[in-house]
Chains A and B, each alone.
Chain A
Amino acid sequence: MVTAIAIVRLKDLFAVIMLSGIYSLLSASFFVTMDAVDVAFTEAAVGAGISTLLLLVAITMTGRAEHPDRHKPILALAVVTVTGGLLIYGTFDMPYFGSGQAPVHLHVAPRYINDSMTEVGVPNIVTSVLASYRGFDTFGEVVVIFTAGIGVLALLSVVPRPVTIAKINSLNDSLHEQHLILRIVSKMLLPFIMLFAFYVQFHGDYGPGGGFQAGVIFAVAIILYAMLFGMITARRVINQSFIQLIAAVGVLLYGSIGVVALLNGKNFLDYSVLSDDPIAGQHLGILLIELGVGLTVASVMIIIFFSFAGRRDYLRHLNDNSKGSNNTSC
């Protein structure tokens, strides 16, 4: 709470980013103490990890200080106060926190908790709710992420300039001198990070984890590589069009499983038809759609980072050019 107020008060945007990192770590520990393991997992990976990185890259483009002469935000303040008041008023109608009489606990939750083992056969209830009972909502989320990736691409995509091998090598050497220790340690850690991402991806049935988290961890590994070894090298490892293709394939995989269920005469995203045994079908379906989610999330995150960083390099290139021309004219 205090952290949030301090975030609003501070003018230095960089400090704001650092504090928001702390804030998400705090809220994640809060989730852990409330026993919501999967939520804490997501908050850790998304809130503390990738959003901090993306905000950082954005801030290097816009500049560090907030504009001092802002308009008076009275209208915004009024709207926020009214909305917050209405929301708090709405919570009065809700049952007390942890009350056993809440409607959720009377009808939906017992069904999920008692029957998910027999109906879906996956030990982690969160996964079965997310991927099977609420499969349609999750599909919507994946499409939203995909759309965000497309939006960033449309706004910020730059055609990479052709660079000579010599320039790449010189850039590599300068980076190598600067971050020698970091590079070596990261090189050792990268395979383990990726391995851990796969563990999270395929272990989602049994423990906390799943497609979203695994995708983010994988993307973070790639971003680490891109930061330490230069954008150009990373682009040579992972092709831009290839990653766009993967993003689309993830959504398609998810959607096509739903269509397969439709074609077999069941509801959209009803996985029981995928196999003779309904429970095995559920397993297969959950595994496949988690794979789709993971693919899409990882590639969209990488796309967003690449476009931001590419844009930044482009702007810096423009700056250098204009400085150079000024110098020669003087």
Chain B
Amino acid sequence: MLIAAILAVFIVMVIAIVRGFMGPTLYDRILAVNMFGTKTVLLISLLGFMMGRPEFLDIAIVYALINFISVVGVLRYSDSSVFKHHNKQK
């Protein structure tokens, strides 16, 4: 069952990468990165359990934090004038 879950998470990660490439708007890409990050957390914890090395969970915690912070950073700086100008052109 662990392997099935790992496969599912892996497929979703591939989908997120595809969306990140295609992403017509900026926010689609941010969404893809965010989803990719959460799925990485899951993948690392699952892998840690499969290999029987639970200290991987430390890395998973770091990922969850870093993911949140980078999304906040992107959003905080995406409301600057550079981006608004670009959006109007579109």
With A14-B26, A44-B66, A223-B73: A22-B36 Cβ-Cβ less than 8 Å: yes
**Chain A residues with CB under 8 A of B62:** 41, 44-45, 196, 200, 213, 217
Please determine whether A223 and B69 come into contact, CB atoms closer than 8 angstroms.
yes
Partner of B83, one of A3, A40, A64, A224: A64
Number of B residues whose C-beta is below 8 Å from A?
42
Question: How far, in angstroms, from A32 to B47 measured CA to CA in the complex?
Answer: 8
Distance from A322 Cβ to chain B, minimum over Cβ atoms (Å): 13
Interface-centre pick from A21, A223, A316 (highest chain B CB count, 10 A): A21
Please determine whether A37 and B86 come into contact, CB atoms closer than 8 angstroms.
no
Please determine whether B69 and A56 come into contact, CB atoms closer than 8 angstroms.
no
B63: nearest chain-A partner, CB-CB: A44
Distance from B19 Cβ to chain A, minimum over Cβ atoms (Å): 11
Binds B, one of A47-55, A131-139, A143-151, A244-252: A47-55
Question: How far, in angstroms, from A56 to B29 measured CA to CA in the complex?
Answer: 14
Distance from B2 Cβ to chain A, minimum over Cβ atoms (Å): 14
**Chain B residues with CB under 8 A of A53:** 69-70, 73
Q: Is the interface of A mostly helix, strand, loop or mixed?
A: helix
Partner of A217, one of B29, B56, B65: B65
Please determine whether A207 and B20 come into contact, CB atoms closer than 8 angstroms.
no
0/1 interface trace, chain B 65-81, chain A, CB 8 Å (1 if under): 11111101110110011
**Chain A residues with CB under 8 A of B17:** 3, 22
0/1 interface trace, chain A 195-233, chain B, CB 8 Å (1 if under): 010001000000111000100010010011001100000
**Chain A residues with CB under 8 A of B61:** 196
Question: How far, in angstroms, from A321 to B74 measured CA to CA in the complex?
Answer: 26
Partner of B59, one of A15, A44, A182: A44
With A6-B21, A18-B29, A57-B77: A220-B69 Cβ-Cβ less than 8 Å: yes
Q: Could you give 24 example pairs across A and B, Cβ below 8 Å?
A: A3-B17, A14-B29, A14-B83, A18-B29, A18-B74, A22-B20, A29-B43, A32-B47, A32-B59, A37-B59, A44-B62, A48-B63, A48-B66, A52-B70, A59-B82, A60-B80, A207-B55, A213-B62, A224-B69, A227-B73, A227-B76, A228-B72, A228-B76, A316-B81
